[in-house]
Structure 1
């Protein structure tokens, strides 16, 4: 059977380039790095397994480039296959794995990107992450991580979370990329300013509270950040956006809790239903993120409810 990717590439600017598979993510998309005989590179994104994600990916990418941020240029596309600019070989997590002393620098630039993103008017037609929508998004927690939870307890926690969001993160005026974490940020040390940070995986973008992507960065499911670095990021974000630091910290804690309760359920589903057991190894860190954010005073009404209903995951073998 003919390979559609090979046919697509044969008619593209990357005709004849070598192909190497890249590690996948939680989506149905697949990626390859293409290399020319003289060392140039590009990325093949195969979105045929997740066709609904392609249009928003292209639209949000064009918006990001229009406001001077670094999203990959589209070099060719056809029937769910896209040839993309290669932003570079180092995502932020891999770079810091070898150069941990540069954490402050890279996190500062990541915050600068958020500030620039939020200073621009978002594109039209995005779903708004209202408190009722955000609270409802933790449903995978009950369906897959703790399927035996009493529905009354689940409903109470969801309602209390909505109330916390209404009190501290009710407005959704800015573009949020939703998965703003270290494996979706490409570090480009030879560039300047915000062009040093390339952006990936933004097709699920929404309108959200300003602290939403900050919370994603502070409580990364795939890597830890120490308390001092998190405090630095909160302070930098507050200073550069003119927002009250205490408000930013409270909103980030609540949005981080919402994100990570949802992620517990999503990762459990990926491991159980999609045959991706590697996600089980991430659950202890995500659960620890939940415990960390519950310590914030704004979440005091939720703390005993969640501690009773959301147990620690088993330690992976």
Structure 2
């Protein structure tokens, strides 16, 4: 990748941050990187999202929408879309992950995050979503396919046969109508503790800061709740998850509870299948084996969701092609 320093220097100079101290933050699974800026006590965050691998426009679109709705997404201080650079409000360092690790009140944090989803799903209306792509069957299928395209070859040693892949995807397509029984809304997609902030001095759901929502889509309201409660990187106690699902359902008394729970199971299974594939791809293609350690947890979530009657066909496929004893963590690429 080309040296980004000159373009970053010009951007920061043009917006009065040339002399700010810069502290790079740990990266994620994308090409984006973040740099915390400190200018005599004033702080901001630089998002460096180099094109063509990254595109800042979806982030800008969703950040502005969330801001209009009253949620605590980072304010946009400056933007150079062509260069892939954003100057953002710094929401601080108190991620849910950090607060929980320090002994924070788990139930209170998850309640706040659930209440934010309730509020978002009450306030959001589909006409607000101009430019936000739909979570359509093609997108859902392509994501689910990552398991057979990356994980299956990694544990079997050979690519999946085309017929097997098509059978798998046909079974998924049969379930997507079940998922859509939940109301449509704005889906942030990466709604979990790594991307939620606890913000002091703010009241109500505004105390929950939002990060990493550039992949937002419109789709089933069940998705972000399952993203929160079936966290790929963290064990969520079943009792807590059950209480949060009940809290969400109680907020929408007209909602068909059985239909929502079926949608939750389908979206949870689809998400977990996708993540198993993504974590394998990050190792095999991108040389990032650190995510492999989470695969056993993701399999637990997937197995739980596959028990729902709406997923009987897919459960049979998994039991035949990847029976329980074969649901292993692939060895890191190049490992003996």
- Normalised to the residue count of structure 2, the TM-score between the two structures is 0.87
- Secondary structure in structure 2 of the residue aligned to 1:82: strand
In 2 relative to 1, CA 164–109 (structure 1 residues): closer, same or farther, beyond 3 Å?
same
1:131: how far off? 4.0
The one-character-per-residue Cα deviations of 1:257-312 (angstroms, maximum 9, x if unpaired) are: 00110111111111111111111122222122111212223323321211332442
| Matching residue within 153, 163, 166 for 1:152 | 163
In 2 relative to 1, CA 131–220 (structure 1 residues): closer, same or farther, beyond 3 Å?
same
Look up the match of 1:33. Answer: 36
Q: Is the 8 A contact 2:282 2:291 kept in 1?
A: yes
Look up the match of 1:11. Answer: 14
| Matching residue within 244, 264, 284 for 1:252 | 264
- Secondary structure in structure 1 of the residue aligned to 2:201: coil
Q: Output the CA distance in 2 between the equivalents of 1:50 and 1:189.
A: 36
- Secondary structure in structure 1 of the residue aligned to 2:227: helix
Q: Output the CA distance in 1 between the equivalents of 2:311 and 2:142.
A: 17
Runs of 4+ in 1 over 6 A off after TM superposition: none
**Is the counterpart of residue 229 in structure 1 residue 240 in structure 2?**
yes
- Normalised to the residue count of structure 1, the TM-score between the two structures is 0.92
Aligned alpha-carbon RMSD (Å) = 2.1
Alignment: residue pair count: 315
| Matching residue within 91, 107, 111 for 1:108 | 111
Q: Is the 8 A contact 2:191 2:228 kept in 1?
A: yes
1:151: how far off? 3.2
Look up the match of 2:283. Answer: 271
Q: Output the CA distance in 2 between the equivalents of 1:7 and 1:128.
A: 36
Look up the match of 1:293. Answer: 305
Q: Is the 8 A contact 2:283 2:289 kept in 1?
A: yes
Equivalences for 1:1-317 in 2 at 5 Å? Answer: 3-38=6-41, 40-50=42-52, 52-78=54-80, 79-100=83-104, 102-119=105-122, 120-121=124-125, 122-131=128-137, 133-147=139-153, 148-170=159-181, 173-242=184-253, 243-310=255-322, 311-314=326-329
1:170: how far off? 4.8
Q: Output the CA distance in 2 between the equivalents of 1:194 and 1:273.
A: 39
Look up the match of 2:156. Answer: none
Q: Output the CA distance in 2 between the equivalents of 1:16 and 1:182.
A: 33
The one-character-per-residue Cα deviations of 1:7-66 (angstroms, maximum 9, x if unpaired) are: 32233243322111111111111101112333x321110012456521111011000000
The one-character-per-residue Cα deviations of 1:136-190 (angstroms, maximum 9, x if unpaired) are: 4211111111133343333223222222221343566211011111111111143
